[in-house]
Amino acid sequence: MFERLQALIGLGIDKNSLTYKLKQWKVDTSWTLFLDRDGVINRKLAGAYVRHWGEFEFLAGVLDSIPLLMRYFGRIVVVTNQQGIGKDLMNHEDLHDIFSQLQQAVIQAGGKIDCFYYCPHLASQQCACRKPNTGMGFQAKSDFNDIIFTKSVMVGDSDSDIIFGQKLGMKTVRISPVGANDHSPEANVTVASLQVFTRALAGIEV
Ligand SMILES: [Zn+2]
């Protein structure tokens, strides 16, 4: 009996659950999901850049999560800082090829990413597009004029992602694989992976 009760609580009745918290946002298909790339979609390389598809490794559950996320969000875009271009470690074509292969893998899994935005500049160039600056958000809004920032969620693993989302009035989700919840700035929710966020949103509590 006790186990059965526990199971019922797991169905989103528990007001401390992540699912319950996300339900308060009332996400529907008028919402947009902004995803950082490295550390959210694919494994981040310590001290290095993903320069070609051979170095790109999807994080667990991401490919299955995107089709599920599309039931909740009307649009999914990627916003990523790619300073490796500014450092001449790779070029625009290399990055476009990675996006193209990434998109093909997502499509094969039954999903789709609506657009990829990237900042190729060096931090020292002080451009408007490098997160935490908001240029990529406004570019997306100018391409898809029905984007409403207050009906958007930014998912990222870096402070710059959270600040970007907060500046634009978005809900923010920090990916922190080690489970640390003591980051500053604090996101609305902190989860271990995009998969955990997706499953909680769908009411499949993990
Ligand atoms: Zn830039």
98/88 Cα distance (integer angstroms): 16
Distance 36 CA to ligand 1 centre (A): 15
Using the predicted structure, report yes or no on whether residue 7 has a pLDDT greater than 80: no
Residues 38, 94, 143, 182: which is the catalytic one?
38
pLDDT of 148-206, one tens digit each? 999 999 999 999 999 999 999 999 999 998 766 667 889 999 999 999 999 999 998 55
R_g of the chain computed on alpha carbons: 17
Q: What is the pTM of this model?
A: 0.91
pLDDT of 94-132, one tens digit each? 999 999 999 999 999 999 999 999 999 999 999 999 999
Only one residue has tokens 């902004």, namely 34
36 is catalytic: yes
Domains of the chain plus CATH, in order, are: 25-201 (3.40.50.1000)
Give the model's pLDDT for residue 205: 59
Instruction: Please list the alpha-helical segments (H only) found in the chain.
Output: 2-8, 18-23, 62-69, 83-86, 92-108, 135-143, 159-167, 194-201
